[in-house]
């Protein structure tokens, strides 16, 4: 098991290569905090394109979040159907909006700016259906706070590279990666690991032959060892023919 110092050093070497490949994304807020929260709920188990279509449809159909909160659930389901799992996501969105209203008197998350990151995370994850990924996305993307979101790409790439344990769940990976990535790197590291997962380290067939991270990659090295062990066996079988 690598020490935390070894993992931090490894992250630095990986980060330098990812920066060469994908640059240094600069933080800028994308959506207002409540929009970010709703967008993130819509993104669960779907593509970015379908999430975007559903988010745009929701904004086009309802003038504000109060009207989404108070609408018949069927109308919200109808609007967000392109995102898939609309029957689950619509009540989840409405419940979150009701929770915020109950706790704060109106639908705003702006007050999180004044909280420290741990307290803001705790506040968000108290909302039913909001886990560590959604909380980290809202805090990192909308507020520029030091929270590191782990989506499916970040989880897969970090696991293959050996930045997290082979069996670490996506949920547990939040704390493991936050412990080895410097907080000022959370935003660019998140985006560059996603870029790598989309372009080279794809889920089904990673394009290792084009990847500059083979020296750092636990998955690649395990594959190499497996193929070295497989070759003598084949040679033996050939000689028996």
CB 158 within 8 A of CB 193: yes
Nearer residue to ligand SF4 within complex by CB, 138 or 157: 157
The closest of 86, 61, 147 to 112, measured between CA atoms, is: 147
**21 is an interface residue for ligand SF4 by CB under 6 A:** no
Q: Which of 160, 163, 177, 192 binds ligand SF4 (CB under 6 A)?
A: 160
In whole angstroms, the minimum distance from the beta carbon of 184 to ligand SF4 comes to: 23
In the window 177-196, what residues touch ligand SF4 (CB under 6 A)? none
**220 is an interface residue for ligand SF4 by CB under 6 A:** yes
**164 is an interface residue for ligand SF4 by CB under 6 A:** no
CB 219 within 8 A of CB 161: yes
Give every CB contact of residue 215 below 8 A, 6+ residues apart in sequence: none
Q: Which of 193, 201, 226, 239 binds ligand SF4 (CB under 6 A)?
A: 201
The Cβ of residue 117 has, within 10 Å, a number of other Cβ atoms equal to: 18
How far is Cα 203 from Cα 219, in angstroms, rounded to an integer? 12
The residues carrying an active-site annotation are: 133
**To 10 degrees, what angle do helices 218-239 and 152-161 make?**
60
Among the listed ranges 27-35, 51-59, 168-176, 215-223, the one in contact with ligand SF4 (CB under 6 A) is 215-223
**217 is an interface residue for ligand SF4 by CB under 6 A:** yes
| The residue to which tokens 């990812």 are assigned | 18
**149 is an interface residue for ligand SF4 by CB under 6 A:** no
The footprint of ligand SF4 (CB under 6 A) covers 157, 160-161, 200-201, 206-208, 211, 213-214, 217, 219-220
């Amino acid at each position: 098991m690598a020490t935390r110092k070894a993992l931090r050093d490894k992250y630095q070497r990986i980060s330098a290569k990812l920066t060469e490949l994908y640059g240094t994304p600069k933080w800028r807020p994308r959506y207002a905090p409540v929009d970010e929260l709703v967008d993130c709920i819509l993104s669960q188990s779907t593509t970015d394109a379908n999430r975007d279509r559903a988010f745009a449809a929701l904004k086009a159909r309802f003038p504000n979040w109060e009207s989404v909160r108070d609408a018949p659930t069927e109308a919200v389901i109808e609007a967000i159907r392109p995102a898939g799992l609309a029957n689950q996501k619509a009540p989840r969105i409405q419940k979150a909006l009701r929770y915020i209203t109950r706790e704060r008197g109106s639908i705003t998350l702006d007050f999180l700016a004044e909280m420290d990151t741990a307290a803001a995370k705790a506040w968000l994850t108290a909302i039913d259906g909001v886990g560590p990924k959604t909380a980290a996305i809202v805090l990192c993307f909308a507020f520029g706070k030091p929270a590191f979101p782990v989506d499916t790409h970040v989880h897969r790439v970090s696991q293959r590279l050996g930045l997290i344990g082979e069996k670490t769940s996506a949920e547990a990976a939040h704390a493991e990666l936050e412990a080895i990535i410097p907080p000022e790197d959370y935003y660019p590291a998140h985006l560059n690991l996603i870029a790598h997962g989309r372009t080279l380290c794809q889920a089904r067939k990673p394009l290792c032959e084009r990847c500059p991270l083979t020296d750092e990659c636990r998955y690649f090295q395990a594959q190499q060892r497996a193929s070295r062990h497989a070759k003598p066996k084949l040679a033996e079988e050939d000689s028996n023919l």
